[in-house]
């Protein structure tokens, strides 16, 4: 009788284990694997319902300006032999200033189009990488900023060595925001002068936990833990180690954190956690009525004024 009970228990455990492996691979393919179309947790329709005409005209002009540009395509080879590509616009002003723009999850460099003209008008060269696993860059997985932080050190060095750049700003949206925050914890050349993070998450684990709850109405344990193990095997990192909040503790550069108070994709509380943890000279701007990465749309004039003030007083000073 006992032998039969143990056998049944063993079968049940085996079925559960196989089921968890199947679920873990499913969520890896949904959230980490390149090329899968995923509908992230949507924000309510009331968020960002009103964009003033003045703001919209500035955005429209910026997008139109970018479409008329022909960025040069630059490339580097990553530490793990991936060919990564970026668009580059050289400023006629030759100020020695450059910004690296980091796009969001499953996006590409063109998704930063709203910011390019603004930085060009400030006299900056603009480098727009496609993150690994995105756009024209190689890679079969999404790094959520973790391995990308090492790629960005290479992009920084390329600007310094090939273009004699003297002052560099890192500016990221969403996943790109967490990416630049992760970069902030690394040993960086003195040419990196400031970091701007718009709508970044604290850790990959916390952000995916939030998504798992709102998209699938499922508990974090054990699905996320299993998926993290699979991600370690297939992509080389775990969700827990991919931490912007830990990295930013080592930051020594001026830092501007921007977040909408109506962000349902990346909870606004994460901005406060990042700000509290951050080292160095830091600022936090919580934008009223702004959803995820929508500060520049709903408060364009103030957004540009704040970023310009940050650059002039913290980066170029």
Cα–Cα distance for residue pair 271/201, rounded to 1 Å: 7
What is the band of 297 on the pLDDT scale with cuts at 50, 70, 90?
very high
Q: In this predicted structure, which of 41-50, 76-85, 154-163 has the lowest mean pLDDT?
A: 41-50
Query: Which DSSP symbol is given to 265?
Result: T
Cα–Cα distance for residue pair 74/158, rounded to 1 Å: 9
Domain 53-219+240-315 in CATH 3.40.50.1820: yes
* Res. 71: pLDDT tops 90: yes
Nearest to 163 by CA among 81, 113, 78, 99: 99
Nearest to 143 by CA among 204, 55, 65: 204
Token pair of 51, please?
Answer: 């964009």
From residue 143, how far is each of 17, 96, 257 by CA, in Å?
A: 26, 30, 21
The helix (H) or strand (E) run that includes residue 306 is helix 300-310
107-144 pLDDT tens trace: 999 999 999 999 999 999 999 999 999 999 999 999 99
Cα–Cα distance for residue pair 265/251, rounded to 1 Å: 25
Cα–Cα distance for residue pair 248/245, rounded to 1 Å: 5
* Res. 216: pLDDT tops 80: no
243-268 pLDDT tens trace: 999 999 999 999 999 999 999 999 99
165-192 pLDDT tens trace: 999 999 999 999 999 999 999 999 999 9
Token pair of 25, please?
Answer: 């691979």
* Res. 83: pLDDT tops 90: yes
pLDDT for the residue 49: 46
**Which residues are CB-contacts of 3 (< 8 A; sequence separation ≥ 6)?**
none
The helix (H) or strand (E) run that includes residue 2 is helix 2-31
pLDDT for the residue 218: 77
């Amino acid at each position: 009788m006992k032998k039969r009970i143990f056998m049944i228990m063993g079968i049940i455990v085996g079925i559960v284990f196989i089921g968890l492996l199947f679920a873990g691979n499913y969520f890896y393919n949904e959230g980490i694997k390149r090329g899968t179309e995923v509908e992230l947790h949507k924000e309510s329709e009331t968020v960002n319902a009103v964009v003033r005409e003045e703001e919209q005209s500035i955005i429209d002009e910026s997008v139109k300006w970018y479409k008329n540009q022909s960025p040069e395509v630059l490339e580097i080879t990553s530490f793990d032999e991936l060919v990564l590509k970026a668009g580059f616009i050289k400023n006629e002003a030759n100020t020695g200033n450059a910004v690296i723009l980091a796009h969001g999850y499953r996006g590409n460099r063109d998704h930063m189009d709203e910011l390019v003209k603004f930085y060009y008008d400030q006299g900056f060269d603009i480098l727009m990488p496609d993150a690994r696993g995105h756009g024209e860059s190689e890679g079969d997985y999404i790094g959520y900023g973790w391995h990308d932080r090492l790629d960005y050190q290479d992009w920084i060095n390329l600007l310094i060595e090939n273009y004699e750049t003297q002052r560099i700003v890192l500016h990221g949206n969403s996943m790109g925001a967490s990416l630049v925050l992760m970069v902030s914890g690394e040993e960086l050349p003195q040419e990196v002068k400031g970091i701007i993070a718009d709508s970044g998450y604290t850790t990959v684990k916390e952000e995916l936990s939030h998504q798992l709850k709102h998209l699938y109405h499922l508990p974090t344990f054990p699905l996320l833990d299993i998926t993290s193990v699979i991600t370690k095997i297939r992509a080389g990192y775990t969700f827990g180690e991919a931490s912007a909040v830990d990295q930013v503790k080592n930051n020594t550069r001026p830092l501007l954190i921007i977040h909408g108070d109506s962000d349902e994709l990346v909870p606004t509380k994460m901005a406060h956690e990042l700000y509290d943890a951050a080292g160095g000279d830091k600022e936090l701007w919580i934008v009223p009525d702004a959803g995820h990465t929508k500060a520049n749309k709903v408060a364009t004039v103030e957004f540009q004024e704040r970023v310009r003030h940050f650059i002039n007083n913290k980066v170029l000073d």
